[in-house]
């Protein structure tokens, strides 16, 4: 009986040891996975970024390549932390939800930081400022935002311009993308379009005289890249890379390339605020 009991105990201890070894192996695999993909990316080493195709000069598709200030800056930021970027086109109205459900690692589309959006995603440090632009058909008598009551005002759904128009009780006409807004102005089916000013400027310039910019006003918050809530490692890596491209002059060079002559508000500082921003001449 004692021999049988001893053998039973030995067998039990052996089984426990085997289970422990299996657990350690499993833990080791998880650690290896984390080491290979410390930022929790969909593909290790590659940021899958959701962006737009039709919003120059901020984000757009040119000759089959995603470009614009936001996207070129993201490439530079990612390179600083040893990552590449793969861009995928989407609609702005879906972008934040797609970041939240991990279809994308990052949202790159001049996304203004708001308290409402913070409930869905986390944001890195601000990398740009923006103005609201008011575009109208050529020949329109509208000259300011205070003249929009009772007018047919178009906005891109889900944008801060949509929020503004709703808050001002303008009953806006919502479209899924910027091309839709431009087409409504050209066709005369909208009286005005509240747009990101840089996009509105470019759209007016490319409209062959059919659209003009009536007014601008400073947007109340910075723009930043969006990441899924809780992905602090990725957010912190992007913040680190952003400070590095500010310090080496890349941020200033891209500002000058995409927004030549645009003044930077005195109270705006990109990134963490801990690095000096070279002037465009010093950065070139």
Written as six digits, the tokens of 138 are 């050529």
Q: Please, are residues 144 and 194 in contact by the beta-carbon 8 Å criterion?
A: no
- Which residues are CB-neighbours of 159 under 8 A, at least 6 positions away? 92, 112, 196
pLDDT digits (tens, 9 = 90+) for 130-180: 899 999 999 999 999 999 999 999 999 999 999 999 999 998 999 999 999
Residue in 59, 74, 112, 84 with CA at minimum distance from that of residue 250? 74
Sorted by where each begins, the domain ranges of the chain are: 46-129+222-283, 131-218
The domain made up of 46-129+222-283 has a fold known as D-Maltodextrin-Binding Protein; domain 2 (3.40.190)
Sign of CA dihedral 43, 240, 71, 180: positive
Q: Which CATH number describes the domain made up of 131-218?
A: 3.40.190.10
Name, of 5-9, 19-23, 248-252, the range with top average pLDDT.
248-252
* H or E element, residue 11: helix 2-36
Residues of the chain with pLDDT > 90, as a percent, come to 80
C-alpha 256: how far from chain center: 20
Written as six digits, the tokens of 274 are 């801990």
pLDDT digits (tens, 9 = 90+) for 177-208: 999 999 999 999 999 999 999 999 999 999 99
Mean pLDDT value across the chain: 89
Q: Please, are residues 154 and 185 in contact by the beta-carbon 8 Å criterion?
A: yes
**Calpha distance 272→181 (Å, rounded):** 34
Residue in 224, 228, 244, 225 with CA at minimum distance from that of residue 41? 228
Q: Output the DSSP codes for 216-233.
A: EEE-SS-B--EEETT-HH
Within this chain, domains 46-129+222-283 and 131-218 share the same CATH topology = yes
Beta-sheet pairing, 173-175 with 153-156: parallel
Name the band, by pLDDT with cuts 50, 70 and 90, for residue 28. Answer: very low
Written as six digits, the tokens of 225 are 């890249």
Predicted local confidence at residue 279, as pLDDT: 74
Does position 27 have pLDDT exceeding 60, yes or no?
no
SS3 content of the chain, % helix, strand, coil (to 5): 40, 20, 35
pLDDT digits (tens, 9 = 90+) for 65-103: 999 999 999 999 999 999 999 999 999 999 999 999 999
């Amino acid at each position: 009986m004692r021999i049988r009991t001893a053998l039973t105990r030995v067998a039990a201890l052996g089984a426990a040891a085997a289970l422990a070894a299996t657990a350690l192996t499993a833990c080791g695999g998880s650690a290896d996975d984390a080491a290979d993909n410390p930022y929790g990316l969909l593909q290790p080493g590659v940021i899958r970024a959701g962006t737009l195709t039709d919003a120059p000069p901020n984000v757009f598709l040119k000759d089959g390549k995603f470009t614009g200030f936001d996207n070129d800056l993201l490439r530079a930021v990612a390179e600083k932390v040893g990552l590449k970027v793969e861009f995928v086109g989407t609609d702005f109205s879906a972008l934040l939800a797609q970041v939240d459900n991990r279809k994308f690692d990052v949202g790159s589309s001049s996304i203004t930081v708001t308290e409402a959006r913070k409930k869905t995603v986390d944001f890195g440090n601000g990398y740009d400022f923006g103005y609201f632009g008011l575009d109208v058909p050529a020949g329109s008598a509208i000259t300011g935002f205070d003249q929009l009551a009772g007018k047919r005002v178009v906005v891109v759904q889900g944008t801060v311009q949509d929020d503004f128009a709703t808050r001002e009780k303008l009953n806006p006409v919502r479209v899924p993308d910027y091309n839709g807004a431009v087409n409504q102005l050209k066709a005369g089916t909208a009286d005005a379009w509240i747009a990101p000013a840089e996009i509105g400027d470019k759209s007016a310039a490319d409209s062959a005289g059919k659209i003009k910019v009536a007014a601008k006003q400073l947007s109340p918050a910075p723009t930043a890249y969006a990441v899924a809530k809780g992905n602090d490692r990725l957010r912190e890596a992007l913040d680190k890379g952003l400070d590095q491209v500010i310090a080496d002059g890349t941020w200033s060079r891209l500002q000058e390339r995409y927004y030549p002559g645009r003044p930077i508000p005195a109270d705006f500082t990109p990134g963490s605020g801990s690095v000096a921003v070279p002037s465009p001449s010093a950065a070139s």
